[in-house]
Amino acid sequence: MRVIIMPIFPLLLAGLCLSGCNSDSSNTASNSSSSNNSTHTTSPTGQPTNNGATQVFTNGNIYTVNDTKPWAQAVAINNNKIVFVGSNENVQQYIGSTTQVIDLGGKMMMPGFHDVHMHPLESGSDATQFTIPQEASVDTYIALVQEAALQNPTAQWLIGYGHNIGTLLEMSDSPLEVLDDAVPNRPVIIMEQTSHSMWVNSKALELAGLHTQSIDPIGGVIGRDEQMRLDGILYDNAGNQVMELAMRSLSNAQQNDYLGLIEYTMPALNQAGITSISDARTYWQRGHLETWQRVADEDKLTLRVHLGLWAYPQMNDASQISKLKSFYQASPDSLLKVNQVKFYVDGILVNTTAAMHDPYHQNWLDLEGNKGLNYFTQARLEQYIKALEPSGFNFNIHAIGDRGIHEALNAIENASAGKSRHRLTHLEVVDPADYARFNKLGVIADAQVAGDFTDPSHWPENIPLLGAERSQDLVPIKSLVENQATLTLSSDWNVSPFNPFIGISNAISRTPQAITLSQALEAYTLNSAYAMGQEHLVGSIEVGKLADLVVLDRNLFDSTVKEIAETNVVMTLLDGEIVYKR
C-alpha cells in the first residue's frame, strides 16, 4: 500500500564534477582533515601501494563515522572497495589514466544510511485499491468505499487504508453498519494508519468465520459493542489474520509487490541516501520471500536487504520453527539475506494493547487486567530464541509498553547464548530500571523519531491513557544512550517518513530526550550496520570497507535543525556504483 510518497528532492550538482576532473589540493574544505591525517593500503615493505583506483573523490568534507579519523578530504575506491581515506595531497598516488576523479567542491560525503526497520513491500505495493482520510463523516466514508467498489468491479476483496482508529470509535453509527451500507455483498477490509486494527464489513467477517461466539485470537481482539455484538473493528492479530485472507485473494499481489519495489521503493530509498534496509515484516505465507528473491535473482537490488521473517502468533510453534529454519540464507556474495525474525510481544498504546506493568486509565477492550496483550509471551519467545539463534537468526522484537519491553529483555537474558544481535524496536514506554539492561545483555535499542507523534509536544496526548508520569520521556533515546545502549534509528515506514534527515533533525531537537548530531549519524550508519551484522563491511568510511557512500548538498555539522531536515542527497553509491545522482 503506497501511502506516504516522499517528495522528489530538488537536488543540485553545483560544484560536483562527475568525470574527468583533476583534483586541486588547494581547494581544501575547512572541516576536512589535514594532509598528515590519512589512511592508505601498504605493501609488505610498508610502502604505499600504487595500483591506482577506479574512482577518487577530492575536495570534500568527508565525515567517516570513524572515531580515530572522523574527517577527511579525499577517498579512493578500487571497484567496490575503499582503498584510501585521507588528504587531497596523498590521494594523488591513486589517480591513474583511467581513474574517474570527482571533485566534491566542499560538499559533505558520509556512509550510506541503514534503515533497520521499515515495511517496503507493504508500503510500496499497489495491492491496496483505495485510500481514505484519517477523519471524515460517515457519508464521506460510504461514498469513498462505494467509489472503490465501482472502480474495482472484479476484485474479490476491497482492500483500503488510511483511517484513524479514534474516528471509528467516535462514530454515532456502528462502524460495521457503515461499511455494510457502503458495500453489503463483497468483503471490505480497511487498514488503520498504524496497521494495528482493521475495519471490516459483515461479508468479511463471514468469510473469516468470525461471529458473536468467536473467541479472541492470540495477540488480538475482536471488537464488540456494549451488547457484545461485533462492531466491525478487529484489533492487532485479529485484524492481521483477516488481512492475510484478503491479500491471498489477490491474483496479482506478488507482481504488484515486485513492481512497487522496482519502480518506486528502491529508487526512492536510494534518492534519500539509504543503502541498506531491514524488511521488518516479511510475510512469508503471502509470497513476500519469493518477491524479494526474484528481485535478487534478476540482479535488480540497489540496496543491501535483510529480511525479518514474520512470526505468526497463531501458528504451531514446532511447525513454524522448522519453516523459519528452512528459509535462512546469509551468503556473503548476495545483497539479500534472510537472517532475521520479526516478533511482536505486544500491540500499541492508542489501542490499549501495548503490554504495560500497570493498568491503563481507560478500559476500551475489556482485556483481563487492562494491561494490554501479548502476541508472544516471554516463555514462548524464549523457546524461539533457543531454537533459532543457533541457526544464525537475529530477532527484531516489537516492544512498546514497559511490560512488553521488560518481558522481551527477560527472554533474551534467559534464552540467548549472548552472541547474537537481537534488538527491541519502538520502545515507547521504557521502565528506567530497564535502561541499563540493554547494554548489559547486548540488546540493540531501535527507535523511530521521524514521525511527529513521537515529538515531546505530543506526549500529553497519552495522559488520558497512561497518566502524567508514564506519559513523559516516551521513546527515551537520550536515556538509553546515557546508559550505554547501542542505539539505532529507523523509520517504520510508512508509519513515519523514511527520509533520514527528518529523523536526524528530530533526534537532536526532541528535548529532554535529544541526542547529539554525531550520535544520531552513528545510529543511522555504523550502529545500524552492526545490527545487520555488516559493520565490518559498511557503516563507516574506512580502508577495506565497501563503498556505500552518499554525497549531501550541505554539511550537516554547519546546519540548523531545520536545515538538516531539508537536506538533499546529491549522489548515492552502493558497492562503488552510482545508484542515484541528480
User: Whats the size of the chain, residue-wise?
Assistant: 582
How many whole angstroms separate alpha carbon 328 and alpha carbon 347? Answer: 27
Look at residue 267 in the predicted model and tell me its pLDDT.
Answer: 98
CB 17, CB 138: distance < 8 Å: no
CB 542, CB 39: distance < 8 Å: yes
Task: Select from 3.20.20.140, 3.50.50.60, 3.40.50.2000, 3.20.20.70 the CATH code of 115-119+251-538.
Answer: 3.20.20.140
Query: Where are the chain's structural domains?
Result: 115-119+251-538, 128-248
How many whole angstroms separate alpha carbon 42 and alpha carbon 44? Answer: 7
The pTM of the full predicted model, rounded to 2 decimals, is 0.91
Give, as one character, the DSSP assignment of residue 93. Answer: G
Look at residue 7 in the predicted model and tell me its pLDDT.
Answer: 33
Look at residue 42 in the predicted model and tell me its pLDDT.
Answer: 35
How many whole angstroms separate alpha carbon 319 and alpha carbon 47? Answer: 58
Q: Which residues of 79-146 form beta strands (DSSP E)? A: 81-86, 100-103, 108-111, 113-118, 130-131
Look at residue 187 in the predicted model and tell me its pLDDT.
Answer: 98
Q: What is the pLDDT along the chain (582 residues), one digit of tens a residue?
A: 333 333 333 333 333 544 334 333 333 333 333 333 343 333 332 334 456 899 999 999 999 999 999 999 999 999 999 999 999 999 999 999 999 999 999 999 999 999 999 999 988 777 778 999 999 999 999 999 999 999 999 999 999 999 999 999 999 999 999 999 999 999 999 999 899 999 999 999 999 999 999 999 999 999 999 899 999 999 999 999 999 999 988 888 888 899 999 999 999 999 999 999 999 999 999 999 999 999 999 999 999 999 999 999 999 999 999 999 999 999 999 999 999 999 999 999 999 999 999 999 998 898 999 999 999 999 999 999 999 999 999 999 999 999 999 999 999 999 999 989 999 999 999 999 999 999 999 999 999 999 999 999 999 999 999 999 999 999 999 999 999 999 999 999 989 999 999 999 999 999 999 999 999 999 999 999 999 999 999 999 999 999 999 999 999 999 999 999 999 999 999 999 999 999
Residues 6+ apart with CB under 8 A from 226: none
Task: Select from 3.40.50.620, 3.30.70.260, 3.10.310.70, 3.40.50.150 the CATH code of 128-248.
Answer: 3.10.310.70
Coil vs helix vs strand at 459: helix
Q: What is the CB neighbour count within 10 angstroms for residue 214?
A: 14
In single-letter form, the type of residue at position 111 comes to: P
